[in-house]
Structure 1
C-alpha cells in the first residue's frame, strides 16, 4: 500500500513476530487473545500505526504493519512490546507469577519486509 504524505511517499510493509518469555502459552483462550488484540490495537491507534493484519497465537504475536520511514523499526517494536506488557499485567496480574522474572516478552523479535 503506497502512502503519500506532504513530504514523502513510501511503501514499507513489515511482518513482525515476537514471542512470550520461555514460549509460555499465555493467550490460551479466545478472551485472552481478544484482550491482547484490543491492547495492541489501542497502542497502534495512539501512535498512528496502521495494522494490516494481526494474529494472537497462544505463545506469540504476528503483525503486518506499514509505517512511516521517519520512525525507527526498533522504536516501534519497543513501544508495542513495552506498552502491551504493561497493559496486560494491569488487566491480568496473575500472569506475572507464571513468568520467572516477571517479563511477558522475550527481548528478541523477528521483522522482515513484505511485498
Structure 2
C-alpha cells in the first residue's frame, strides 16, 4: 500500500475506504474460483470508470474486503 498524499492543483489529500460486503444468507460462494475472478474483473472495470484504485481485495468464504483509495 502506498501512503503518499495525492496532489491536485489546489489541494492535498489522502482518502481511503474499507468496505466489507457479505453474501446474502452467508453462502460460501467465494470458495468457487469463478466467483472470485468475476468480482475482481468488476473491480477493475470500476477503477477505469471512476476515480478510485482498489489497493487490496480480500476474500473469505462468505464475504469480501475492499481497501480502496481515491485517485
TM bucket normalised to smaller: 0.7 to 0.9
Structure showing the higher helix proportion among its residues:
1
TM-score under structure 2 length normalisation: 0.76
Is the CA contact (8 Å cut-off) linking 1:27 and 1:58 kept in structure 2?
yes
Is the CA contact (8 Å cut-off) linking 2:20 and 2:64 kept in structure 1?
yes
One of 14, 18, 23 as aligned partner of 1:15: 18
Structure 2 unaligned blocks of 5 or more: none
Structure 1 unaligned blocks of 5 or more: 69-115
Runs of 4+, deviation exceeding 6 Å: none
CA drift at 1:19: 0.8
For 2:46 and 2:60, the matched residues in 1 are separated by 18
